[in-house]
């Protein structure tokens, strides 16, 4: 660790941007280590949403009056920001959804039911969040598309040989895998995954729900076909998610939801659809949420992904060292390329009990199956405790976690 070679990152200044971090939990300082579930919101996001509600709000897209025109501009600007964030070729590659889960369901229900044919397969991995599993399972059960599961190694990485073997028969039409595991913290080798899939004629969808928070993603460099993320983990509001897709795929896909805003013309006999991406966005959009997410993206970009990644690496390294020194504590997964999400178990104490004890000291961690039951099964576990880091996480917070965990161990001994 060489502090000088890393971009400046002033965590104290960043913490001041997040009002909630000043809260006390039962008299103790809040130590929020649950950002992978949902991140806290910086002042600029709150202010952007408040400004809209107080000064500039109306329904968008169809209004000819000042408030509607200005709100449309403010809302639609998020599409440009997302395109910039992902280095998408164009704003029309960006479909606004309700969350990551909705993005997966959109692709499963539209692309899955029209472009994929019975006899073809969807390939996911053993470490998917339910959001990238259940929609494909429902597709399989409804339309006869096969569902294949690429195994992971004991270290918690995608087994690349097995992955490639599962593509060998050419039946896989779509690979849909996580870019960063919400349980193990593993970053998957997206570039190789995509190259191999494309070589076997399969399209690739990436679950960037976790990764987009920590690393710069370049959809054109990756040549990824679909990518999903969710606003609330990227320091933005709830109620908004994103689907990136290549233009020709969006053009070929039928809409899933019908209603206002997604049509070109409507008659009882036949309706025609608006152009991409609007044909996938039925009804009044998440206007305030788009405005909030836009502020979040600009906030993260201003800090810069180099600085964010370096901060995350420093925190993770320290946390791994501190936690693995605790007697009876097992860190789950040892991937080479990993980020600030660490799952662990503590001998003699169930993860829920660990979480409750930590909570008493103001430390928020998650415990359970983390919406990844089949992964738990693969790991031979029922549940883990999970600490996850955000922009605002400090070394001192990690020390507090480790010190308190040592006491938890004693409590349950």
Partner 1 sequence: MFEDLRDLYQQVILDRGRKPHHGRRLEVFDAEARGDNPMCGDRVQVFVRRDGEAVAEVGFEARGCAISIASADLMAEAVIGKTADEIAELTTAFTGMARTGNGGAPQLATLRPLAGVHEYPSRIKCATLPWMALKAAMAGKGNASSE
Ligand X SMILES: Cc1ncc(COP(=O)(O)O)c(C=O)c1O
| Residues marked as catalytic | 371
DSSP, collapsed to helix, strand or coil, labels residue 119 as coil
Tell me the backbone φ, ψ of residue 133, rounded to 5 degrees: -140, -55
Binds a copy of itself by CB under 8 A, chosen from 62, 117, 347, 413: 62
SS3 (DSSP) at 18: coil
Which of the choices partner 1, a copy of itself, ligand X, none does residue 178 contact, using the CB cut-off of 5 to 8 A by kind?
Answer: ligand X
Distance in Å, CB of 244 to a copy of itself, minimum: 17
Task: Tell the smallest beta-carbon distance from residue 329 to ligand X (Å).
Answer: 23
Q: Which is nearer to a copy of itself, 134 or 249 (CB)?
A: 134
144 sits near ligand X (criterion: CB under 6 A): no
**162 vs 215: CA distance, rounded Å:** 27
177 strand-pairing partners? 206
316 DSSP 8-state letter: H
Per rule CB under 8 A, is residue 306 in the interface with partner 1? Answer: no
- The three-state DSSP-derived secondary structure of 170-183 is CCEEEEEEECECCC
Separation between Cα atoms, residue 391 and residue 294, nearest integer Å: 17
> DSSP secondary-structure letter at 163?
H
Cα(324)–Cα(107) distance, integer angstroms: 40
Does 412 interact with partner 1 (rule: CB under 8 A)? yes
99 binds ligand X (CB under 6 A): yes
Q: What is the rounded distance in angstroms from the CA atom of residue 188 to the CA atom of residue 281?
A: 30
284 part of the interface to ligand X, by CB under 6 A: yes
Q: Which residue in 230, 314, 316, 384 binds a copy of itself (CB under 8 A)?
A: 230
Rounded to a whole number, what is the largest CA-CA distance in the chain?
71
Q: What dihedral angle (degrees, nearest 10) is formed by the CA atoms of 132, 137, 138, 141?
A: 160
Among 89, 170, 201, 260, binds ligand X (CB under 6 A): 260
The yes or no reply on residue 178 touching ligand X (CB under 6 A) is yes
Within residues 64-123, the interface with partner 1 by CB under 8 A covers 64, 68-69, 72-73
Q: Which member of 113, 298, 350, 378 binds partner 1 (CB under 8 A)?
A: 350
Return residues touching ligand X (CB under 6 A): 99-101, 129, 131-132, 178, 182, 207, 209-210, 230, 260, 283-284, 371
Return residues touching partner 1 (CB under 8 A): 61-64, 68-69, 72-73, 263-265, 274-275, 278, 348-353, 356-357, 360-361, 367-369, 373, 376, 382-383, 404, 407-408, 411-412
């Amino acid at each position: 660790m060489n502090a000088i070679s890393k971009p400046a990152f002033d965590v104290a200044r960043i913490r001041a941007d997040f009002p909630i971090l000043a809260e006390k939990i039962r008299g103790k300082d809040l130590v929020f280590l649950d950002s992978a579930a949902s991140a806290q919101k910086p002042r600029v996001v709150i202010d952007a949403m408040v400004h809209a509600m107080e000064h500039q709000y109306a329904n968008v897209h169809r209004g000819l009056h000042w408030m509607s025109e200005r709100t449309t501009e403010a809302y639609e600007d998020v599409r440009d920001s997302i395109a910039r964030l992902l280095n998408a070729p164009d704003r029309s590659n960006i479909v606004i959804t309700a969350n990551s889960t909705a993005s997966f369901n959109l692709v499963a229900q539209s692309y899955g039911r029209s472009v994929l044919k019975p006899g073809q397969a969807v390939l996911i991995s053993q470490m998917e969040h339910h959001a990238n599993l259940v929609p494909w399972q429902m597709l399989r059960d409804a339309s006869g598309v096969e569902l294949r599961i690429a195994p992971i190694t004991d270290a918690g990485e995608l087994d690349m040989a097995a992955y490639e073997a599962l593509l060998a028969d050419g039946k896989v039409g779509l690979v849909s895998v996580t870019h960063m595991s919400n349980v193990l913290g593993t970053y998957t080798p997206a570039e190789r995954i995509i190259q191999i899939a494309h070589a076997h004629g399969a399209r690739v969808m990436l679950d960037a729900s976790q990764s987009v928070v920590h690393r710069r993603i370049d959809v054109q460099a990756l040549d990824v076909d679909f990518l999903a993320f969710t606003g609330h983990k990227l320091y933005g509001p709830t109620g908004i998610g994103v689907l990136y897709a290549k233009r020709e795929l969006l053009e070929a896909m039928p809409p899933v939801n019908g209603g206002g805003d997604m049509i070109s013309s409507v008659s009882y006999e036949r309706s025609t659809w608006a152009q991409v991406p609007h044909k996938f966005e039925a009804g009044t959009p998440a206007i305030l949420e788009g405005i909030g997410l836009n502020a979040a993206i600009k906030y993260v970009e201003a800090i810069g992904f180099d600085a964010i990644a370096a901060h995350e690496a420093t925190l993770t390294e320290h946390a791994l060292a501190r936690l693995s020194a605790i007697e009876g504590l097992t860190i789950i997964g040892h991937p080479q390329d990993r980020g600030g999400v660490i799952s662990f178990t503590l001998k003699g104490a169930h993860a829920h009990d660990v979480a409750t004890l930590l909570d008493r000291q103001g430390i928020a961690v998650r415990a359970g199956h983390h919406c990844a039951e089949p992964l738990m099964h693969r790991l031979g576990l029922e549940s883990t405790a999970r600490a996850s880091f955000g922009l605002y996480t400090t070394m001192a917070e990690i020390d507090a976690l480790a010190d308190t965990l040592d006491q938890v161990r004693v409590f349950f001994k």
